[in-house]
């Protein structure tokens, strides 16, 4: 079975108690790891023998026919899409890059989402031309166009972006302000979770609230070409079945001990978040974890490669 099918099966089933024989049918524990900047994404799941796998496939097929998997599948798909974008942002951007918010002055608001996106493309083209005039590399970016709809204000647009460009903050802002209105930029700081918070905001597709003015937000994001896409590696001995049992036992009783067992598999990293799923239908456990570098020197070394251009740019402008 595929990893996403195992995750779905664990999601729709009730958790089972950790008792002797609870891993019956599990041949090995496969671990899928993705490195993105200072972060590691880990998904560890059981590989069953022929009989157990056949039973799991039949159970999942029956649940799909009854359509009891729909909500869980949508939840998993949304989480996978969010994780993928967060990984791309953390793999390509870091401390020293620009976090940009662009809004419109009164009278300069675009009428449609197409007009708003065209404004953003033109803005990025201006940034690109300025970089090329200076002999600098082309900018890299991920941005979101946010559409806000309300009965009071109508439809409004603004943009959020993470930008890597050899330009000063004031230059990035002025290239928008001269044409459209207001632009605020801040420098990304080094944090344990990288740029995860900013990236998760960009990753949201639709957010709706229950306000009296029928307030709604929709987000549409885009990215530059050539960004690094983190790739997964797999191993069948990274996390042993015995350690999986310890993690599953301790995750509810003492989460700190469960995190220590996970961190023992990844020296130099600490757990930011972790979930453990078990199923009353099959043996074994599905573990999802996000870890970050805890070695300060390691984080600084990673950040240095992304901030060297910023320091050289500031020296030239002085």
User: How far lies 91's CA from each of 104, 124, 164, 195, in Å?
Assistant: 31, 21, 12, 10
Query: Does residue 108 share a domain with residue 220?
Result: yes
In 10 A of CB 4, how many CB atoms? 14
- CATH classification at residue 203: 3.30.70
- Residue 64 burial (CB < 10 Å; 0-12/13-18/19+)? middle
Q: Looking at the structure, tell me whether residues 144 and 112 fall in a common domain.
A: yes
Q: Is residue 117 part of a domain?
A: yes
236 lies in the same domain as 288 = yes
**Is residue 171 domain-shared with residue 151, that is, in the same domain?**
yes
pLDDT, residue 134, reads 92
Per the structure, the count of domains in the chain is: 2
Q: Which tokens belong to 2?
A: 């595929």
Tell whether 191 and 290 lie within a shared domain: no
Separation in Å, CA 307 to CA 120, 165, 175, 299: 25, 11, 22, 12
Q: Is residue 38 part of a domain?
A: yes
**Same domain, yes or no: 237 and 280:** yes
Helix (H) or strand (E) holding 50: helix 50-65
Taking the CA atoms of the chain, what radius of gyration do you get in angstroms? Answer: 23
Distance from chain centroid for Cα 119 = 26
Q: Does a structural domain hold residue 314?
A: no
Q: Specify the pairing of strand 216-223 against strand 232-235.
A: unpaired
Q: Is the dihedral of CA 77, 79, 80, 81 positive or negative?
A: positive
CA angle 157, 120, 144 (to 5 degrees): 60
Q: Which residues contact 236 (CB under 8 A, 6 or more apart)?
A: 28, 29, 30, 31, 47
Residues 6+ apart with CB under 8 A from 191: none
| Coil vs helix vs strand at 177 | helix
The parent domain of residue 271 ranges over 3-80+230-300
- Distance in angstroms (rounded) separating the CA atoms of residues 165 and 176: 15
- Residue 191 in domain: yes
CA-CA distance, 121 to 145, in Å (whole number)? 11
Instruction: Determine the pLDDT at residue 295.
Output: 61
Is residue 216 domain-shared with residue 153, that is, in the same domain? yes
Domain endpoint, select from 229, 259, 276: 229
Per-residue pLDDT of the chain (318 residues; tens, 9 = 90+): 899 999 999 999 999 999 999 999 999 999 999 999 999 999 999 999 999 999 999 999 999 998 989 999 999 988 888 899 899 999 999 889 999 999 998 888 898 889 999 999 999 999 999 999 999 999 999 998 888 877 777 788 889 999 999 999 999 999 999 999 999 999 888 777 878 888 888 776 444 344 444 445 566 778 999 999 999 999 999 999 999 999 999 998 999 999 999 999 999 999 999 999 999 999 999 999 999 988 654 444 344 433 333 333 333 333
């Amino acid at each position: 079975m595929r990893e996403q099918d195992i995750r779905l099966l664990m999601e729709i089933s009730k958790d089972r108690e950790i008792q002797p024989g609870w891993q019956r049918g599990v041949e090995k524990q496969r671990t899928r790891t993705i490195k993105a900047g200072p972060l590691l994404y880990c998904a560890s799941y059981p590989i069953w023998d022929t009989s157990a796998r056949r039973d799991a496939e039949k159970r999942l097929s029956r649940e799909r026919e009854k359509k009891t998997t729909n909500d869980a599948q949508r939840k998993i798909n949304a989480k996978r899409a969010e994780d993928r974008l967060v990984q791309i942002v953390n793999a390509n951007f870091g401390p020293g890059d620009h976090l940009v918010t662009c809004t419109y002055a009164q009278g300069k608001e675009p009428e449609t989402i197409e007009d708003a996106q065209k404004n953003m493309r033109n803005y990025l083209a201006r940034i690109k031309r300025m970089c090329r005039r200076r002999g600098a590399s082309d900018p890299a970016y991920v941005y979101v166009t946010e559409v806000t709809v309300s009965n009071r204000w109508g439809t409004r647009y603004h943009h959020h972006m993470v930008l890597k460009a050899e330009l000063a903050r004031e230059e990035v802002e002025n290239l928008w302000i001269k044409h459209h209105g207001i632009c605020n930029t801040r420098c990304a700081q080094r944090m344990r979770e990288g740029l995860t918070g900013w990236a998760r905001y960009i990753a949201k597709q639709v957010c709706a609230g229950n306000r009296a003015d029928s307030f709604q937000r929709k987000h549409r994001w885009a990215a530059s070409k050539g960004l690094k896409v983190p790739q997964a590696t797999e191993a069948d001995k990274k996390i042993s079945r015995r350690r999986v049992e310890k993690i599953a036992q301790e995750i509810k009783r003492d989460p700190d001990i469960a995190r220590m067992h996970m961190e023992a598999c990844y020296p130099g990293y600490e757990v930011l978040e972790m979930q453990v799923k078990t199923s009353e239908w099959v043996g074994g456990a599905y573990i999802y974890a996000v870890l970050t570098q805890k070695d300060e020197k390691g984080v600084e070394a990673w950040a240095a490669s992304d901030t060297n251009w910023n320091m050289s740019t500031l020296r030239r402008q002085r």
